[in-house]
Copies of this chain bind each other. A is one copy, B any other.
Amino acid sequence: MTVTLADVAAHAQVSPATVSRVLNGNYPVAAATRERVLRAVDELDYVVNGPASALAAATSDLAGILVNDIADPFFGIMASAIQAEIGGTGGRAGCERLAVVCNTGGSPEQELKYLTLLQRQRAAAVVLTGGAVTDAPHAAAVAAKLRKLTESGTRVVLCGRPPVADTGAVTLTFDNLGGARAVTDHLVGLGHRRIGCIAGPMERTTTRHRLEGHRLALAAAGIEEDARWTVHGRFDRRSGYEGALELLRRDPSLTAVVAANDSVALGACAALRDSGLRIPDDISVTGFDDLPCSIDAVPALTTMRLPLADAGARAGRLAMGREDAPPGKTASVQGELMVRGSTGAPRE
């Protein structure tokens, strides 16, 4: 029914071993023989049986990319860059890895499940993107899994997530704290003193770090924070909309709002507009990430640009072992403040 190595061998009048060697090209085979084998492969339309060769060789050409939400361009852009490097779209020939992206939906259970599945497939590399959860048991479970993966020879890279100690994982962190601090510094510099904050889900490291940066900036400016000024939500537009409304209800005198990311900021803008406020005249809004669509908002969003594509590409190369790990196996990636139309000096 399906063509096997043996069929090809018979057709080319050689032994299966020879066919295998021609296909893998790691053993001298006479040119004439190679030719004959290749012709047989072509004529029979032979396709290697992946599982069989993975089993025999005890390695696989699978590489996994874990993302929290594939529908979110934040992850899409990173995944795209990673996959380009791993899958060989980047141009390099002979690179026949199957780079696959797995959507965890931000759930730690799913994350573990996918890691197990990848481990089961004996994946060659795994890249985890996006913030981690702070929940200790889960963090420990993930750490244990990562350790096991690196021990069994899988290369593990964390991209845009905090380092995990004692796993062989190489890490590329985003400087969320510094970025958030720069954003709030910018607002403070414009003269804002009453700044609301629509933060992300409490249990994510990304949220924690951005929030901390924000608070550091406030503290540095001698601004005493009001507990009413912070609301939490998810990383989506709707949370931004609702969050902004809530902030306005709690304190109508706010002159600026920093959002957890661009989607949240865009939602906030919509809510503020719907409430009759003009941006930035009545209130300033900032985002984070600088996704493509933040430039189409009117006014365009002031935001912290994260080099998603660059970081992804680097993570991909790291996962392929094509680039040396940074010293200490961890590097921090800086953002860049993009000042656009959504921020201005406060009203009065």
Interface residues of A (CB under 8 A from B): 2, 45, 47-52, 54-55, 60-62, 64, 69-73, 75-77, 79-80, 83-84, 87, 89, 96, 98-103, 105, 107, 110, 113-114, 116-122, 148, 152, 237, 263, 266-267, 269-270, 292-293, 295-298
Contacts and interface: CB of A to CB of B under 8 A. Distances in A.
A71 B313 CA distance: 13
Contact of A80 (B69, B83, B96, B296): B69
Nearest to A101: B101
B47 A51 contact: no
A52 B55 contact: yes
A47 B110 contact: no
A119 B47 contact: yes
- Stoichiometry, as copies per complex, reads 2
Nearest to A81: B71
Contacts of A119: 47
Given A50-B121, A100-B98, A122-B49, A77 B71 contact: yes
B117 A103 contact: no
Given A49-B122, A50-B120, A100-B102, 18 more contacts: A48-B120, A49-B55, A50-B54, A50-B122, A51-B51, A51-B54, A61-B117, A69-B80, A70-B76, A72-B73, A73-B73, A73-B76, A75-B76, A89-B105, A96-B117, A100-B101, A263-B292, A267-B296
A47 B98 contact: no
B99 A102 contact: yes
A307 to B, nearest CB: 14
Contacts of A70: 70, 76, 79-80, 83, 101
Contacts of A269: 296
A61 to B, nearest CB: 8
Contacts of A152: 2
Given A80-B69, A114-B98, A298-B297, A237 B292 contact: yes
Contacts of A47: 116, 119-120
Contacts of A100: 64, 98, 100-102
7 nearest CB pairs, A to B: A100-B100, A51-B54, A293-B293, A298-B298, A50-B121, A50-B120, A71-B80
B60 A71 contact: no
Contacts of A122: 49-51
A308 B276 CA distance: 33
Contacts of A52: 51, 55
A80, A98, A292, A296 — most chain B CB neighbours (10 Å): A296
Contacts of A292: 237, 263
A21 to B, nearest CB: 18
Contacts of A101: 70, 100-101, 103
A309 to B, nearest CB: 8
A79 B103 contact: yes
22 contacts: A2-B152, A49-B120, A50-B54, A50-B121, A51-B52, A51-B121, A52-B55, A61-B117, A70-B80, A73-B73, A76-B76, A79-B103, A87-B110, A89-B103, A96-B113, A98-B100, A98-B114, A99-B102, A237-B296, A293-B293, A296-B297, A297-B298
